[in-house]
A and B are shown apart, each in its own frame.
Chain A
Amino acid sequence: MSNLIFGLSFLVFVSLLYLVYLSRDKKRLKRSVNKGIKTLIKNSIRLFSVFLIIGILKEFLSKEAVGNFLLNFQGFKGILSGFVGAVMMGPPASGYPIGKYLLENGASYSLVSSFLASWVMLGIVAVSMEFKYLGLKFTLVRNIFTIFSIIAISLIIGAIL
């Protein structure tokens, strides 16, 4: 729901930009609209395939299975096993119940942090899109640093809580 509300306000904002800055200049307006339509078609094909693969994979990964798998690990191994969060699909909201389930069953805060952080920060799908649009070097450097960040965040949270 929040996506829809945000999206519609975003749409109003972009329309206003067009109205204020481009409506007087027919030539530029035409070029912008053309580019917009082309981009829309291209992005739609790309994104729909991404959502399709997410939808299919989601059907094969159950929450309990993932939770029970993670409960086998402790300490630093727990932090590393939390990286399976990266293959989890869907909005992070579906990750919070898994996090709660893990805590209730004796998992450490570090494991839960690394699982949730991998979910929001690493996503397999996002990485493939990043590579396509921002290049190999950018993707590699940023994601390797992200892996270090996840370990650091988990250790810090484990130390504080």
Chain B
Amino acid sequence: MKKFKSFLKEYPLETIILTVAIILMILNPSKTLFGLSYALKTYLNLLPIIISVAFLMGFISEFLNKKTVSELIGRETGMKGVMIGAIFGTLMIGPSFIFYPLFKELREKGAGVNVIATTIGAWSIKLQWLPFAIPFLGLKFILLFDALILIFAILSGFVVSLFVKS
């Protein structure tokens, strides 16, 4: 009972989702089962990334110190840090939100909010999807689209650092 209560406190949203899923399971089992199998497949497909992120966080908290992180991607590094974020975000694969816990850890270690915002912005570029996108929408459209996303991702770093302290 005590364990259940602390679970509820730690994961309120997740408990609601689970309850909704159970109710839907009774009302519309076939659709809900599809949803459940989608969730399982996605989770397993992303499991190596999820494991890597968790252990990378363990590594960062023990090994990297504030000074190193803030020298590399701190707020004061300005354009250099933002460019590192832009390149990192462009090249990464998988949904960005898997990496948010990692960004939180890095932020506590001194990473700048401008760098984090640019990284999240550049994540929308999805370089790995390019071969799928071109046949549907054409090279010209996609290149223009991605170039604009990159420019606005870099701008967003500066805007966020104007309003958010650290």
Contacts and interface: CB of A to CB of B under 8 A. Distances in A.
Chain A contact residues: helix, strand, loop or mixed: helix
A37 interface: yes
A125 B42 CA distance: 15
Interface residues of A, number: 81
Contacts of A125: 97
A37 B53 CA distance: 11
A100 B136 contact: yes
Interface residues of B, number: 73
13 contacts: A14-B59, A18-B55, A40-B50, A40-B54, A43-B53, A47-B43, A55-B35, A120-B124, A120-B149, A126-B95, A126-B96, A153-B145, A153-B152
Pairs of residues from A and B, 9 with the lowest C-beta to C-beta distance, nearest first: A7-B48, A55-B38, A36-B58, A55-B35, A56-B35, A40-B54, A32-B58, A36-B55, A149-B152
Interface of B: 11, 13-14, 17-18, 20-21, 24, 31-32, 34-39, 42-43, 45-59, 61-63, 93-98, 100-101, 103-104, 107, 113, 116-117, 120-121, 124, 126, 128-129, 132-133, 136-137, 140-141, 144-145, 148-149, 152, 155-156, 159-160, 163-164
